[in-house]
Amino acid sequence: MGSGKTTVGRKVARLLSWRFVDGDAEIERVSGRTVADWFAEEGEDRFRREEGRVLEMVLAGASADPVVFGAGGGLVVTATNRDRLKGPDVAVIYLHADPAFLASRTQRKPHRPLLTGDPATVLGDMYQARDGWYREVADAVVEVRPAHEAGQRPKWRLAEQVVEALAPMGIRVAADGADDEGFSDDPA
């Protein structure tokens, strides 16, 4: 939460000329239920199973139509999802930041049902539980904070760093890939 997965993912997809799929939005589209509803009505375990089902569905179509998938931060909680993310047909980039930085950028919103109480405490607990899993599945780690500290257009800077991290895996900006001309970047 707060790393910029969705915004950066959209920009990476634009640079690669691939489509972008936000994991939470896709769950809502496919199931007709919001993430908050899933948590309230079914609980986290059932939501995680649905999240894995949607991941598999999106990846099944990715061989014909490459996709940047903006995974929810909890996707790594289940071993089945971690195994799938380690597959040879998937490249995973971990947008890493320390919990205090993420807490400074994160607010309680309906699509964040796990963000209850003090954001720094909640994100610190999540970081302790999940950081090892993120690193287990990651093909590369991109640090978020330096891009924000460098000044203007941090999300484009992060997208460019993600694309650079993908290059050794044979994934490169398409000849017709968009540049950032004419695109706005929020100041955060």
| Residue ranges of domains in the chain | 5-168
DSSP E strands, the chain: 19-22, 67-70, 93-96, 140-143
pTM of the model: 0.83
Q: What's the token pair of residue 157?
A: 């800077």
Domain 5-168: CATH superfamily, name plus number: P-loop containing nucleotide triphosphate hydrolases (3.40.50.300)
Sign, Cα dihedral of 76, 144, 154, 87? negative
Q: Along the 188 residues of the chain, how does pLDDT read in single tens digits?
A: 678 889 999 999 999 999 999 999 999 999 999 888 888 888 888 999 999 999 999 999 877 889 999 998 889 999 999 999 999 999 999 999 888 888 776 655 444 445 556 777 888 888 899 999 999 999 999 999 898 888 788 899 999 999 999 999 999 887 655 544 433 344 33
- Confidence at residue 176, expressed as pLDDT on a 0 to 100 scale: 57
- Confidence at residue 175, expressed as pLDDT on a 0 to 100 scale: 64
Residue 93 in 3-state DSSP?
Answer: strand
- Confidence at residue 181, expressed as pLDDT on a 0 to 100 scale: 42
d(CA 36, CA 111): 6
H or E element in which residue 124 lies: helix 119-137
